[in-house]
Amino acid sequence: MRITFCCAATQAEPWLLDLRAALPGADISLWQPGAPPADYAIVWAPPQAFFDEQTQLKAAFNIGAGVDALLRLHIAPHTQLIRLDDAGMAAQMAETVCHALIRHYRQFDVYDAQAAQGQWLQHPIQPRAEFAVGIMGLGVLGQRVARAVAQFDFPVNGWSRSPKQLDGVRCFHGAQGFNDFLAASRVLVSVLPATPETRDLLNRNTLSRLPKGGYVINVARGAQVVEEDLLALIDEGHLAGAALDVFRTEPLPAGHAMWSHPKITITPHVAALTLRAESVAQIASKLAAVQAGKPVPGTVDRTRGY
Provide the annotated active-site residues: 221, 269
Q: Tell me whether residue 111 or residue 178 sits nearer to ligand NDP (CB atom).
A: 178
Helices (H), the chain: 12-22, 48-53, 68-71, 89-105, 108-116, 140-151, 174-183, 204-207, 227-235, 276-291
Q: Tell me whether residue 161 or residue 263 sits nearer to ligand NDP (CB atom).
A: 161
The phi and psi torsions of 59 (rounded to 5 degrees) equal -150, 150
65: contact with ligand NDP by CB under 6 A: yes
Report which of 278, 298, 274 is spatially closest to residue 18, judged by C-alpha positions: 278
Radius of gyration of the chain (CA): 21
HSE of 137 in the Cβ direction (CA atoms, 13 Å)? 28
C-beta of 117: minimal distance to ligand OXD in Å? 36
How many Å apart are CA 225 and CA 198, to the nearest integer? 9
Q: Tell me whether residue 198 or residue 282 sits nearer to ligand NDP (CB atom).
A: 198
Q: What is the DSSP string of 133-184?
A: EEEE--SHHHHHHHHHHHHTT--EEEEESS---BTTBEEEEHHHHHHHHHHT
Beta bridge partners of 187: 133, 215
Q: Tell me whether residue 38 or residue 272 sits nearer to ligand NDP (CB atom).
A: 272
Residues in region 204-243 near ligand NDP by CB under 6 A: 219-221
C-beta of 249: minimal distance to ligand NDP in Å? 15
Site string for ligand OXD, 52-81 (x = CB under 6 A): ------------xxx---------------
Q: Which does 278 bind (CB under 5 to 8 A by kind): ligand NDP, ligand OXD, none?
A: none
193: contact with ligand NDP by CB under 6 A: yes
66: contact with ligand NDP by CB under 6 A: yes
141: contact with ligand NDP by CB under 6 A: yes
How many Å apart are CA 52 and CA 262, to the nearest integer? 46
C-beta of 65: minimal distance to ligand OXD in Å? 4
269: contact with ligand NDP by CB under 6 A: yes
Size of the site for ligand NDP (CB under 6 A): 30
Q: Tell me whether residue 181 or residue 306 sits nearer to ligand OXD (CB atom).
A: 306
Distances (CA, A) of 200 to 194, 195, 204, 223, 246: 10, 10, 10, 6, 13
Report which of 137, 30, 144, 42 is spatially closest to residue 83, judged by C-alpha positions: 42
- Site of interaction with ligand OXD (CB under 6 A): 64-66, 274
- Site of interaction with ligand NDP (CB under 6 A): 65-66, 85, 89, 137-142, 159-162, 191-195, 197-198, 219-221, 245-246, 269, 271-272, 306
